[in-house]
Amino acid sequence: MKTLLKLSTLAALLAAGAAHAQSTAPIKVGLMLPYTGTYAALGNAIENGFKLYVQEQGGKLGGREIQYVKVDDESDPSKATDNVNKLIKRDNVDVLVGTVHSGVALGMAKAARENNTLLIIPNAGAGDITGPMCAPNIVRSSFSNWQPAYAMGVVAGQRGVKRAMTITHNYAAGTETTKGFTEGLEKSGGKVIKELYLPFPNVEFQALLTEIAAQKPDAVYAFFAGGSAVKFVKDYAAAGLNKTIPLYGPGFLTDGTLEAQGAAAQGLLTALHYADNLDTPRNNAFRKNYALAYKANADVYAVQGYDAAQLLGVGLAAAKGDIAKRDVVANAMRGATVDSPRGKFTLSKAGNPVQDIYLREAKGVNNEFKSIAVKALADPARGCKL
Ligand code: PHB
């Protein structure tokens, strides 16, 4: 009897110790982002934004220290499953944050569903993730590919565009942005006469620019980001097309790229859920702190990283730091109103931001707010059964 008692006391002590360790050990955040290639700058800005928010909270979310494990996903979908499994199974991360490229994010979402791992997507807009693949443990702090594309289409039609051409990389984000733009344009009286594609991350635009010149559409809608956006906007201007055929795009075309694009980008109109000069205390403080911390201007990717950390913070606070309470964390994130530098947003049932999409104009190194293109725009979340 005595021995039994002792054993049970020991077991209780061990259990208490384990619970204590659980509640004080750092939360492991797996950052799976592109740190090389076309989207490298985007990945870095997301990481910077995420870490800025955590630093502003004294390095803790929900009372827990945050520890990072990083993987460079290279924006390569063929490596996505291996990369995400390393984070889930080898590194035992508590939460995944990633990524930029829709094709890679689809692989992450599949693994997150299979392992019931929390996944916060700080960019990639793949419609399927908040459509047929939607799941309680998956949320976005960014956008769906449809959202800015649809808004740009609506505005282009309002501006008198009847015949448009589209050009982008041939992968999920490219085809989805093209569809969204077409839907918005048709709604406001125009149509897309031809879709042009080139493989990701190929940037040999010349033959396609020649085709645009020959077709003489009223406008071109282009989705490129990072390194591809810099080259495309410069090549479009070098071909003289900017003088005769207005170029529109989702704001990725000019976000984080204006310095490198120089004169070629000035005056471009784009649609996005962020504008650099939103004159709110929230945005001004964010931009100031970001510039101080990183000696660089914040862009939409930095905002999305920052807000991914805000979402995690809301979830962890609700669970009092106990990330094992997956349902509590996930429900709190879905119920959150995020006080973002972009303006406040909520999440849809599918886990995607419901947000204003702004029309912006490139001026100097800023994408300046012009008007609200579409207010409180929710992704249709076609196929999501939540
Ligand atoms: C995507 O692949 O979903 C993607 C990549 C870069 C962007 C936006 C979307 O800027």
What residue ranges do the domains of the chain occupy?
A: 18-143+278-351, 146-272
- Helix 226-238, helix 206-215: angle, nearest 10: 50
What is the tens place of the pLDDT at every residue in 329-356?
A: 999 999 999 999 999 999 999 999 999 9
pLDDT > 90: percent of the chain = 94
What is the per-residue pLDDT for 75?
98
What is the per-residue pLDDT for 7?
53
CA of 325 to the centre of ligand 1 (A): 31
pLDDT exceeds cutoff 70 at 4: no
Query: What's the whole-number mean pLDDT along residues 14-29?
Result: 67
Which protein residues touch ligand 1 with a CB less than 6 Å away? 39, 100-102, 123-126, 145, 173, 225, 252
CA of 170 to the centre of ligand 1 (A): 12
Joined tokens for residue 96 = 């995944």
Q: Which of 42, 75, 100 to mutate to test the pocket of ligand 1 (most atoms within 8 A of CB)?
A: 100
What architecture does CATH give domain 146-272? 3-Layer(aba) Sandwich (3.40)
pLDDT exceeds cutoff 60 at 230: yes
Query: What's the whole-number mean pLDDT along residues 60-85?
Result: 98
Query: What's the whole-number mean pLDDT along residues 8-23?
Result: 52
pLDDT exceeds cutoff 90 at 23: no
d(CA 34, CA 72): 5
CA of 123 to the centre of ligand 1 (A): 6
pLDDT exceeds cutoff 50 at 317: yes
Query: What's the whole-number mean pLDDT along residues 81-91?
Result: 98
pLDDT exceeds cutoff 60 at 271: yes
Cα torsion through 140, 143, 147, 152, rounded to 10? 180
3-state secondary structure of 384: coil
pLDDT > 70: percent of the chain = 94
What is the per-residue pLDDT for 1?
43
d(CA 259, CA 261): 6
Q: Which of 99, 123, 270 to mutate to test the pocket of ligand 1 (most atoms within 8 A of CB)?
A: 123
d(CA 120, CA 311): 8
How far, in Å, are 131, 240, 251, 267, 313 from residue 243 at the CA level?
39, 6, 20, 12, 47
Q: What number of residues does the chain have? A: 386
Ligand 1 atom nearest to CA at 225: 10
pLDDT exceeds cutoff 70 at 13: no
Joined tokens for residue 251 = 């704001």
pLDDT exceeds cutoff 60 at 222: yes
Of the options 3.40.50.2300, 3.40.50.300, 2.102.10.10, 3.40.50.10110, the CATH number for the domain spanning 18-143+278-351: 3.40.50.2300
Q: Which of 101, 232, 257 to mutate to test the pocket of ligand 1 (most atoms within 8 A of CB)?
A: 101
* Same fold yes or no, 18-143+278-351 and 146-272: yes
CA of 212 to the centre of ligand 1 (A): 23
Indicate the pLDDT class of residue 9, thresholds 50, 70 and 90: low
CA of 1 to the centre of ligand 1 (A): 65
Q: Which of 46, 121, 145, 352 to mutate to test the pocket of ligand 1 (most atoms within 8 A of CB)?
A: 145
CA of 169 to the centre of ligand 1 (A): 10
Do 302 and 369 contact (CB within 8 A), yes or no? no
Do 289 and 352 contact (CB within 8 A), yes or no? no
Indicate the pLDDT class of residue 41, thresholds 50, 70 and 90: very high
What is the per-residue pLDDT for 2?
46
Joined tokens for residue 183 = 């839907």
What is the tens place of the pLDDT at every residue in 134-161?
A: 999 999 999 999 999 999 999 999 999 9
Query: What's the whole-number mean pLDDT along residues 227-234?
Result: 98
Query: What's the whole-number mean pLDDT along residues 304-320?
Result: 98
Best CA proximity match to 197, nearest among 174, 224, 228: 174
CA of 225 to the centre of ligand 1 (A): 7
